[in-house]
Structure 1
Amino acid sequence: MSASPQPTRNNEGFLEDATVWTPDIARDIAREDGIQLNENHWEIIEFLRIFYTEHEMSPPSNRLFVKAVKEALGSEKGDSIYLMTLFPGTPAKTACRIAGLPRPTNCL
């Protein structure tokens, strides 16, 4: 039995087509970053996918990512340190990649 074909990703690991995303793909991408997804991760991933559906874009920067999470989920979760513990490095970029969304425009 062969493995499912992997979706096409760009050189930074972002899906070329956000519509092919599945939770299994999210787990594979997270595993590449050394992240074991738990309910806290999934809450942010679900938030990002809804944000993308409503705005047709990823949050454009870490600052706006934190602000959007704070407005939607409260100040405890809309905190840069909390988000960095879930998604190390650049939280908006890492979380969007795992959520199968395009790269945020202003993230390094």
Structure 2
Amino acid sequence: MGIEFNGVCYETDENGYLINLDDWSEDLAKILAEGEEIDMTEEHWNIVRFLRRYYDEYQIAPAVKVLTKAIAAENNMDKKAASEFLYGLFPKGPGLQACKVAGLPKPTGCV
């Protein structure tokens, strides 16, 4: 399986997540987002960049609970508002969709 972009085929798993994390680029992220029916805005990019920084530091994608807590703190909102904000950006699940667009592995605990 894979995604073809600019004449290059990028390998993905059966769920569409990149196999080689080093293949990721912002241009490829736009293609991944299109596949998820997401129109990338600066708010989407902020989440994607947060996820990539987190992964660089911990070598794992954050659980949705961790992501929600971090976004709440960064945006001075309560966890419920942060959760609604994240689901507004990534309606099929912020962990699943945001990690896919960020070029990260499927988060642990997500089915």
Q: Same-fold call, TM > 0.5?
A: yes
| Residues matched between the structures, number | 105
The structural deviation recorded for 1:62 is 1.8
Q: Kindly tell me: are residues 27 and 54 of structure 1, through their superposed partners in 2, closer, same or farther at Cα, counting changes over 3 Å?
A: same
- Secondary structure class of the residue paired with 1:28: helix
CA distance in 1, matches of 2:23, 2:78: 28
Q: For 1:57-86, what per-residue CA distance to the aligned partner results, in whole angstroms no more than 9, with x for missing partners?
A: 101x32222123334x23449611100010
Identity of aligned residues (%): 32
Higher mean C-alpha deviation, range 77-86 or range 37-46: 77-86
Superposition RMSD in Å: 1.8
Q: TM-score, normalised by structure 2?
A: 0.86
* Counterpart residue type for residue 71 of structure 2: V
Structure 1 residues 17-52: Cα deviation after superposition (integer angstroms, max 9, x where no partner) = 111100111000100111110100001111111000
* Higher strand fraction (1 or 2): 2
Give the TM-score of the pair, scaled to structure 1.
0.88
**5+ unaligned residues in a row in structure 2: which ranges?**
none
The change in CA–CA distance for 1:77 and 1:88 in structure 2 (over 3 A counts) is farther
